[in-house]
Structure 1
Amino acid sequence: MRVLLFTGKGGVGKTTLAAATGACLARRGRKTLVVSTDPAHSLADAVGSPLGDEPSEVGSFLYGAQIDARTLVDDTWETLRHELTTALSGLGLDALDAEELTVLPGVDELLSLGQVRRLADEGPWENIVVDCGPTAETLRLLALPEAVAGYLRRLPAWRSVTRVARSVDRFAAHVESLRALLTDHETTTVRLVLTPERVVAAETRRTLTALALRGIAVDGVVVNRLMPSPGWWRGAAASWLRTRRAQQEQVIEELRDGGLTGRTLRTVEHRAVEPVGMEALLEIADELYGKASPLVGDVGAAPLLETVEAESGVYLRIVLPLAKDSTVRLARVDDDLAVTVDGFRRLVALPESLRPYTLTGAESDARGLLVHLESPL
């Protein structure tokens, strides 16, 4: 089974492209589920059919669902949270402190991802296409399994209460399964959607870096709403189209030069009419994929860390797509290297052989960061 996650800046058309991809896979006889975790819930509008929490058939081999995160929070997390609050209060914590400790930011997004995992495990789908929320929410969503695992380890004394310990252990195992799903490059990949504008392209480059830091594979980029070429037409309208198209193509070239090496880039032209329903979605799919499989993309994922030995010392390469104007900060935190790029931070465990070494500097090159480590005397 394959899982494709579509995300992008709000308003770039990711829902339409996710639905078109699902429709294309279904037309080729592959049982496919398109599911939305976007609170905006526009997937039903795109497919032209009402959708609920559980999958319903919207076409031959094609099913759809829209996850209601608020209901999941009410039904799932509140029960565990109440158990934790009660137990921690019984262990001597002030009731207010216990309440504060069991507040988990982003739990609605985490449970939405868990619902996707449940549907993947229980359903007959060959493929799942996920219409994620806008980029910022998606990055938070994809970072949560790792963050929550650390959060659960910090809960004090909960293991002394058997019932709560079992609940937390189940939740921790669930979180770990989500992290494993997201970082399994054979199963799960992200496809970024953008419009050919510099501001949107800059966010896409930052997203590529943030996902690489998390070990999550991006297999391709889709540039949506490319202005049609006016060809040999003349007149004011044709001149405007020609100018706008040239600007868009320049943005695409800059994007290729800014970290997309080795990843598939597809384009879709702007439509005069909003694409709604199966016929319109399949028309987009034909332009997007042609005869190729929608599942084919270039992960472009190398190991995050590579050790490089040179005459001048030992280097640790952190393989990341970096924009020319990226802001990078590095710090040593015990046996980890804290890597922050454009505000996105991750603790990267150093290889055991390099833990005695001292961080002395770093530089960027075409493949990412080259960190200089000095051997202890």
Structure 2
Amino acid sequence: MRLVVFTGRGGVGKTTTAAATAAHAASRGVKTLVMSADPAPALADQLGLSLGPQPSEVGAGLFASQMDPHRLAQRFWESARRPALDALDDLGVDPLAAEDLADLPGLDDLLALLAVREETRDGPWDLVVVDCAPSAAAFRLLATPGRLGRLLARLLPMERRLDRLSARGMAGDPLVDAVDRFAGELAGLRSMLTDGSTSVRLVMTPEASALTQTRRLFTALTMSGFPVDAVVVNRIFPTGPPASSMDLLMDQPMGWQNTWRRSQEAVLADIVSSFEPVPVLRMTYAPAEPQGLEQLADLGLELYGNQPGPVRPGPLPPRVERTDTGFSLSLAMPLARRETLDLGRRGDDLVVTADGYRQVLPLPGVLRRCRVENATLREGTLAVAFVPDPAQFPSRWM
């Protein structure tokens, strides 16, 4: 089972690309579900159909759904209601209703991921395509399980959970049970998103500003461990007969298109060199907005040919190596720029920020007893040098 997440800045055609990918795969006999995690009903408009939160068949082998945060809250609240209420009562917190949960900032991201995981784990699909929200919101969505997991560990660490069990002398503490269940769900979500069968595809237009933003998102996704297996460039002007010099001077339609075409060709060259070896797929500017399954399947054929799409290994996880003076932690950060990087230490975590996107890395045990000496960025890899802290390392280890 494959999970493919599409994102890009607003207005670049990510919904069209996600729908075209799903329609193309279904036309090749791949049982496919396309889900919209974007609050705007763009997927329903693209398909020309009315969609609900439950998958409905929209074509041969193709199913679609539109996530609804309030309905998702009601569904998942029923199974978690009793232990959650017991835990909240134990903490002296007023009870919550499903409607309250759906309105909590950021919880709609978690609910959307739970719905995706449910379909990938229990559904009959060969391929699940997710039409995500625009860039920054998509990164927040994908990073939610890791961030909540770290927050949960800080609010109620394992030591406190064990202390509560010991103090009560019972194995059924509702708060501990709720925390453990929630931690398990977060771990499952993180595993789903970083699994080898999951990938992210970035959609953009051949414009310098779109390239700049997509490069930033690519760096952020890679440093956070999310594999990007393709970049889709949409709305490329088709080739045509050259305009005469008089057309260019008079700004006639053909001259206007040729001016745009030359600009796009220059940006396309930058796109290919920026993301290499990630495949760059191209879609030409259609004469009209694609509507319906037939047109979307044709668009998918233009993108992928006879294959459902590329699959590329994900980024290497952070690795720790021994050095002459201590240790080195290496983190893949392709396209990152030194002037936009910020590095900090917070307790047992290393906080890396690139172009406003932040990643918190829990440090391995050996590095927690070290201090950061320096950091270098070279050829898309951030190397952080650690030296042992004499106050925490036995002298025989120094």
Residue 302 of structure 1 corresponds to 316
SS of 1:52's partner is coil
Alignment deviations for residues 143-173 of structure 1 (CA, whole Å, 9 cap, x no partner) = 1101111233344578667334433432322
Residue 192 of structure 1 corresponds to 202
Contact 2:232 2:282 in 1 (8 A): yes
> Is 2:279 the partner of 1:264?
yes
Contact 2:320 2:327 in 1 (8 A): no
Figure out how many residues of one structure are paired with residues of the other and give that number: 367
Alignment deviations for residues 277-336 of structure 1 (CA, whole Å, 9 cap, x no partner) = 012101211211123x23323345223335374x78754322111344651111233343
How much is the aligned-residue C-alpha RMSD, in angstroms?
2.8
> Is 2:193 the partner of 1:178?
no
Alignment map for 1:148-159 (pairs within 5 Å): 148-155=148-155
> Is 2:359 the partner of 1:346?
yes
Residue 41 of structure 1 corresponds to 41
SS of 2:226's partner is coil
CA offset at residue 128 of structure 1?
0.6
* Structure-2 change in CA distance of 1:308 and 1:69 (3 Å): same
Alignment deviations for residues 245-267 of structure 1 (CA, whole Å, 9 cap, x no partner) = 22122223223344x12211111
Q: 1:242 aligns with which of 258, 261, 273?
A: 258
Residue 105 of structure 1 corresponds to 105
Identity of aligned residues (%): 41
The CA distance in 2 between the partners of 1:312 and 1:355, in whole Å, is 16
Residue 99 of structure 1 corresponds to none
Residue 222 of structure 1 corresponds to 232
CA offset at residue 342 of structure 1?
1.7
Amino acid corresponding to residue 141 of structure 1 in structure 2: L
> Is 2:308 the partner of 1:332?
no
Q: Which runs of 5+ in 2 are unaligned?
A: 96-100, 166-171, 390-397
Alignment deviations for residues 324-353 of structure 1 (CA, whole Å, 9 cap, x no partner) = 465111123334322121222222234444
Amino acid corresponding to residue 188 of structure 2 in structure 1: S
> Is 2:381 the partner of 1:371?
no
The CA distance in 2 between the partners of 1:319 and 1:272, in whole Å, is 40
* Structure-2 change in CA distance of 1:107 and 1:319 (3 Å): same
TM-score (norm 2): 0.83
Amino acid corresponding to residue 292 of structure 2 in structure 1: G
Choose 130-139 or 79-88, whichever is displaced more: 79-88
Residue 289 of structure 1 corresponds to 304
TM-score (norm 1): 0.87
Give 1 or 2 for the bigger CA radius of gyration: 2
SS of 2:133's partner is strand
Residue 393 of structure 2 corresponds to none
Q: 2:177 aligns with which of 166, 182, 185?
A: 166
The CA distance in 2 between the partners of 1:175 and 1:354, in whole Å, is 25
SS of 1:224's partner is strand
Alignment deviations for residues 3-32 of structure 1 (CA, whole Å, 9 cap, x no partner) = 000111111111111111111111111111
Contact 2:336 2:354 in 1 (8 A): no
SS of 1:26's partner is helix
The CA distance in 2 between the partners of 1:226 and 1:338, in whole Å, is 38
The CA distance in 1 between the partners of 2:360 and 2:24, in whole Å, is 39
SS of 1:251's partner is helix
Choose 147-156 or 199-208, whichever is displaced more: 147-156
Residue 169 of structure 2 corresponds to none
* Structure-2 change in CA distance of 1:217 and 1:339 (3 Å): same
* Structure-2 change in CA distance of 1:375 and 1:172 (3 Å): closer
Contact 2:83 2:177 in 1 (8 A): no
Contact 1:264 1:297 in 2 (8 A): no
> Is 2:97 the partner of 1:120?
no
The CA distance in 1 between the partners of 2:338 and 2:263, in whole Å, is 21
* Structure-2 change in CA distance of 1:168 and 1:333 (3 Å): closer
Amino acid corresponding to residue 167 of structure 1 in structure 2: A
Residue 141 of structure 1 corresponds to 141
The CA distance in 1 between the partners of 2:337 and 2:81, in whole Å, is 44
Q: Which runs of 5+ in 1 are unaligned?
A: 97-101
Contact 1:35 1:65 in 2 (8 A): yes
Choose 239-248 or 216-225, whichever is displaced more: 239-248
The CA distance in 2 between the partners of 1:240 and 1:177, in whole Å, is 51
Alignment deviations for residues 52-99 of structure 1 (CA, whole Å, 9 cap, x no partner) = 1111111111111111112222443598589657744554x5769xxx
Contact 1:230 1:241 in 2 (8 A): no
Choose 351-360 or 24-33, whichever is displaced more: 351-360
Contact 1:304 1:320 in 2 (8 A): no
Amino acid corresponding to residue 244 of structure 1 in structure 2: W
CA offset at residue 134 of structure 1?
1.1
